């Protein structure tokens, strides 16, 4: 799994000399929480919703005149952006990018190829990727099995599934933090079961009545 396969390619960016209120307006309009900051087409920083909110003056603040507040929101984004930006390459593994995000407690990573910004990888992109890869769906059944039994194979573990005829969609192992033992998680569906229809699909099938 590569970053390029899951990153967001339709980017919203802001120039470093644009005013803070422009960044705030775009974040509200497009419902995003971070904007890459560019200078002559090159990535020079990133500004987040928290950065913008911390910089904007409070309406209830009576210590500042309207003129002072206007001056603050007209300040350039470059004054509040983070200049040390963690980035990833489109050909980096998604697992590496996810680990980088977790270790540094960031919710988004600009994706750069040389000097060119080509996308952004957000925590939502990562969540969607792992859901897709694991094959998890609304009709999946999740089963957890102990997997610390010497030379027991996955096939032998799967033989312990109940009497239902299940089709395995995906499997993953992990070490339980409580007992320290390795477990096998299996997502499976009953064979021959049809995908669940959404409310919209059901309405269309019934002629919209």
And the tokens for 50? 């928290």
**Which residues, listed in sequence order, are joined to residue 183 by a DSSP beta bridge?**
146, 174
What gap in Å lies between CA 109 and CA 120, rounded to an integer? 6
Per-residue pLDDT at 146: 79
> How confident is the model at residue 59, as a pLDDT?
46
What domains does the chain contain, in order, with CATH numbers? 3-130 (3.10.580.10), 135-190 (no CATH)
Q: How far apart are CA 73 and CA 23, in angstroms?
A: 10
Judged by DSSP in three states, 51 sits in helix
Whole-prediction pTM value?
0.71
* Predicted local confidence at residue 207, as pLDDT: 54
**b/e 144-176 (16+ beta carbons within 10 angstroms → b):** ebebeeeeeeeeebbeeeeeeebeebebeeeee
Residue in the block written with tokens 């990018």 = 97
10-residue mean pLDDT series, the chain (209 residues): 94 95 94 95 95 74 62 88 96 96 95 94 93 73 74 71 67 83 80 52 52
The confidence score (pLDDT) of residue 198 equals: 45
For residues 88 and 130, what is the distance between their CA atoms, to the nearest angstrom? 18
3-state secondary structure of 67: helix
The Cα–Cα gap between 186 and 208 comes to 38
Per-residue burial over 2-28, b = 16 or more CB atoms within 10 Å of its CB, e = otherwise: ebbebbeeebebbbbebebbbbbebbe
How many Cα atoms within 13 Å fall on the side-chain side of residue 139?
A: 14
């Amino acid at each position: 799994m590569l970053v390029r396969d899951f990153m967001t390619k339709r980017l919203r960016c802001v120039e470093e000399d644009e005013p803070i209120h422009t960044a705030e307006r775009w974040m509200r309009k497009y419902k995003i929480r971070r904007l890459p900051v560019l200078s002559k087409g090159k990535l020079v920083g990133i500004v987040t919703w928290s950065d913008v909110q911390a910089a904007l003056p409070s309406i209830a603040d009576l210590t500042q005149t309207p003129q002072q507040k206007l001056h603050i929101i007209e300040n350039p984004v470059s004054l509040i952006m983070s200049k040390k930006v963690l980035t990833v390459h489109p050909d980096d593994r998604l697992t590496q990018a996810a680990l980088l995000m977790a270790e540094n407690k960031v919710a988004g990573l600009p994706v750069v190829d040389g000097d060119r910004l080509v996308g952004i990888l957000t925590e939502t992109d990562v969540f969607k990727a792992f859901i897709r890869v694991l094959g998890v769906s609304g009709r999946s059944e999740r089963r957890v099995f102990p997997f610390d039994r010497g030379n027991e194979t996955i096939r032998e573990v799967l033989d312990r599934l109940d009497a239902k005829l299940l089709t395995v969609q995906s499997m993953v192992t992990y070490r339980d933090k409580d007992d320290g033992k390795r477990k096998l998680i299996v997502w499976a569906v009953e064979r021959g079961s049809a995908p669940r229809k959404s409310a919209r699909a059901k309405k269309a099938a019934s002629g919209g009545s």
